[in-house]
Amino acid sequence: MKRVKFIYNPYSGERNILNQIDTVVKIHQKYKYVVEPFRIDKNSQISEAFNENDKISYDYILVAGGDGTVDNVVNYIKHNNINLPIAILPSGTANDFAKFIGMPENVERACEQILNSKSRKVDIGKINDKFFINVASTGLFTDVSQKTDVNLKNTMGKLAYYVKGIEQLPNLRKLKVKVFSSNNEFDGYMYLMLIFNGQTAGNFKFAYKAEIDDGLLDVIIIKAGMLKDIIQLFIKMLKGEHLEDVNGLLYFKTNKLKIECDEDIVTDIDGERGPDFPLCIECIKGGLEVLGVKND
């Protein structure tokens, strides 16, 4: 029998995964897999999911949760040289990266897609010493996810992020940053910066040029300017319109960049607090082996 380590976050999203565990086991048993579950909570560490003797004895690692949960698993396996494919059951609030690779929200369909696929190497991002799968950000709205109450997210879903974001509008202020890369440089004031490995944030497709294995990150900088221009820019972004040659916005691709900032602002990695400045961010081409990726 083949074995799969199933790591799930019971608090992700609307906690629907708790009603689908039997489905996960049933589908895997049909394909002759033994499922070994591990439940994440505030009293457990990802390291507890793996014993020293069985780190390489699984066929793959199945993760049920949002982007933050997946990040935690990816960071553990990368820092501990566990070279196993992972697969994702999207059960968080946004599930941006899972949607980027084409994972269905239906658990049964997702399991079937995973078990009938071949693993594929995809890019991941690295910010200082931490890995991320979808997006790193800093500036306006950066800590919305960090400040949004878990119960509010479970009750209101993605709408909770927007409510929290509106609360921050009175605090709108210009932020001085320096960005260095071989493709572009920026030294000035901005409101928000997004560095994508995926395409979407909160299910809005901002990085529409992003590809899953091109070895490049998509960088979007919203420059400081007149508030009316910024509102129009956000409307264009939320509508998914292309952003070439848009006044007040810089969009470029690069495999590596450095960001310096003396402002008292935080960074965010897929909804979790990121490292302090200065930031060295790079794309690790083919850095993660993933099952269930939908063919282009």
d(CA 23, CA 54) in angstroms, rounded, equals 25
Question: What whole-number percentage of the chain has pLDDT above 70?
Answer: 81
Pair (184, 249) in one structural domain: yes
Q: Which of 57-66, 107-116, 129-138, 165-174 has the lowest mean pLDDT?
A: 165-174
Look up the domain containing 183 and give its range. 130-285
**Quick check: 285 pLDDT over 90?**
yes
**Quick check: 275 pLDDT over 80?**
yes
Domain assignment of residue 290, yes or no? no
Helices 21-30 and 107-115: angle between axes, nearest 10 degrees: 30
Q: Which residues, in sequence order, are CB contacts of 226 under 8 Å at separation 6+? A: none
Report the predicted TM-score, pTM, of the whole model to 2 decimal places.
Answer: 0.88
Pair (109, 223) in one structural domain: no
Higher pLDDT, 19 or 161: 19
Q: What's the domain count of the chain?
A: 2
**Quick check: 205 pLDDT over 50?**
yes
Domain assignment of residue 294, yes or no? no
**Quick check: 159 pLDDT over 90?**
no
Q: What is the pLDDT of residue 55?
A: 59
> pLDDT by residue (tens digit) across 79-132?
999 999 999 999 988 899 999 999 999 999 999 999 999 999 999 999 999 999
- Residue 226's CATH number: 2.60.200.40
Q: What is the pLDDT of residue 125?
A: 98
Q: Max CA-CA distance within the chain?
A: 62
Q: What is the pLDDT of residue 168?
A: 53
Domain assignment of residue 213, yes or no? yes
d(CA 154, CA 151) in angstroms, rounded, equals 5
**Quick check: 157 pLDDT over 60?**
no
**Quick check: 135 pLDDT over 50?**
yes
Pair (193, 171) in one structural domain: yes
Pair (178, 236) in one structural domain: yes
Burial 76-106 (b: 16+ CB within 10 A, else e): bbbeeebebbbbbbbbbbbbbbbbbbebbee
Residue with the two structure tokens 């509508």: 239
State which amino acid sits at residue 76. Answer: Y
Query: Comparing C-alpha atoms, which of 92, 118, 93, 113 is closest to residue 103?
Result: 113
Domain assignment of residue 224, yes or no? yes
- Confidence grade of residue 165 (pLDDT, cut at 50, 70, 90): very low
- Reading the block at residue 140, the tokens are 């306006």
- Reading the block at residue 210, the tokens are 């992003």
